[in-house]
Structure 1
Amino acid sequence: MALNPNEKPDKSVSKFELMLKTDDVYFFDSEDFETIIHHYLNHGKLSLAKKAIQIGLQQHTHSMELKLLRVEVLVFEDAYQEAEGILDELQQLDPSNDEIYIQRANIHSKQDDHLGAVNLLLEALHMTDDALDIHSLLGMEYLFMDDYEKAKRSFIQCLEFDEKDYSALYNVVYCFEFLEDFQGAVHFLNDYLERNPYCEVAWHQLGKMYCTLELDEEALVAFDFAIISDDQFIGAYFEKGKVLERLKRYNEAIECYEMTMQIDDPTSHAYLRIGKCHEKLQNFDLAKYYYYNTVHEDPLLDKGWLAITDFYFRLEEYKRALHYVNKAISIDGENPVYWKKAALTYQALQDWDEADYAYRQSVELGNYELETYMGWVDVLLRNGEAEAAIDILKQGVEFHPESAELLYLLAGSELQRHQTRAAQEYFGKALQMDVHKIRVFETYFPEFLQLPWVIDIFSVHKKAST
């Protein structure tokens, strides 16, 4: 069984390292070698683990446990053929050794043969008195196969052997989430809590499920029980704060976030959330203080820079907003969200050329939102660039073929360059999609509203929609 990597090395490890330093030869029993090897494997010291295996097999030539540890290292190094050879020898000596099947399963898994790994693990399950680890391995193989139902059952089996196996508990909830069976997760967690009423992990997960189901009051109760079970549980305080924010109970939310900073070092996420709460309370100086602390704590947190930018943008202090979004871009110029925010800020400052460039950067970096295309076309039309606007609109329609707004803008842009037939086609499609969104056409192209064919087509579609 693997040791806890946080445990201090025992005397056998210290004695082994002394032997290596002095070149003396000390004798260890095979169990000591197992302890030494597990210690090095758990701490990622592979070369020392291999050295211990080598010396261990010199002193205990026939030790099956040490040979299996050698197989484990060989598999880690992708030396599958050599590992299989050793396993063949061991299986002849002890055909009912479950560890042999587990290691074979590990080889199949690493070669992406997860079904083969599952079959070997199921065989091992019939040979072992300790099924917990095998059920856990089965659960992981089923996850690799995207069989979340079987994975869930395997991890539930783990909990039947050990109800304190929180890794299995998290995995069960993960499977429920992936299956979008949130009610099932709630039922499972409530059943688990009947047997383990002081399990802070289960209360925390239950609270998150309630949040997903938008049952905020129930979520608050669950997070409170998590905190009662462990008053140092930072995650429960943080999630409770987020729920209180949604309920507009900002002062209480701030208290929760402040608790996380009393328990452990402050984090950029806590500063950010407190800043947002103070902004909602119109405590603008405090909001600024916490936003600045956010980016000081983590300069790479995009939400921090965006929060400062949005803060000044909402106050219509666009030049200051621009300063901070440009600072963000200087840190991460590949972030499309930064570029979009820069575009909106330039737009507010009526700097159309810079706004055009920023929108282009945002889209080229993968931001294909409808809002982005609408904003970009607004800039181009205000800058008198109908030709460029048409190119961008056609690109936007590829990503948003259901958008009536883009088609109305295409119709008007085509009219600006005297392409009546194309304009009529786009205008008719837009009216079929949503006659009420003609206000987009009215806003940008009021000069075309009195064209006879525009009046006729609009009248027909308006009657059809009533």
Structure 2
Amino acid sequence: MKKLKGKNIRVITIVAGNDRLDLAKSMTADNKINFPVVVDYGRQFYSDYGIRVYPTTVIVDKEGIITHSIPSHPLTFKKLFEGYIKKALGEIDESKLNDMLSPHNVKADKTHLESTRLYNLAMKFTENGMIELAVNSVRKSIEVKPDMLKSHILLGFLYLEMDDPDSALTTFNKALELDPHSHDAKTGLGGAFVMKGELDKAIEILNDAAIANPYAQMTYYELGKAYELKGEKDKSIEMYKKAIEKIIHKQILPSSISKCK
């Protein structure tokens, strides 16, 4: 963003589906976001703009016209973002944009690509119940790229699947070192504490993980288990209902690690 200073560009963050402004402010403060934040009550903006993937980066020109959008956060995000901004500012034309984004000119991080390949392989093994093969693949993914957050998170959930909460705790803590705000890592950490019977710790972490999290179905499910084990039936039912509501509204990550078992 520093490169954009002085170029008459305004950056706005839109938080969807969060009806508590205080939570949105807390989230942006924790992530050191220093530009305006708008809460999209009822997801009206997302509906009007046809957004289906979170996050999505939208480039709007000075006439208020959407020129480009970048769904999710692909490996080529920086190159795409730079090119689209230059095009919107009139610094380059369509031809130069195409040249800039040509596959021959986009240098992929080979380490990242190999780690991602191994992660995807681990996901396939996971989906087919081949847990040991999944663990081997995701460990290799981490060896190739030790800061691959999603690989640490997947490995942690695999350890939970193997009833190994201690290894899961170590792995999720490593993930939180990489990203202290990771909802998935906090959810997994809470799940590990549930498995170990440390229910108060689990509830504290899981409640934190549920804050400003659009994909909290598994978090609420783990909270339901924790309260159930504590004998707090009403609270447990409340959490299970929230998990079901998230699933009904299709706020589910496209991976097996986010599904309630």
Q: TM-score, normalised by structure 2?
A: 0.46
Structure that is richer in strand per residue: 2
Greater helix fraction, Structure 1 or Structure 2: 1
TM-score by length of 1: 0.29
> Higher Cα Rg: structure 1 or 2?
1
- Which gives a bigger RCO, structure 1 or 2 (Cα 8 Å, sep 6+)? 2
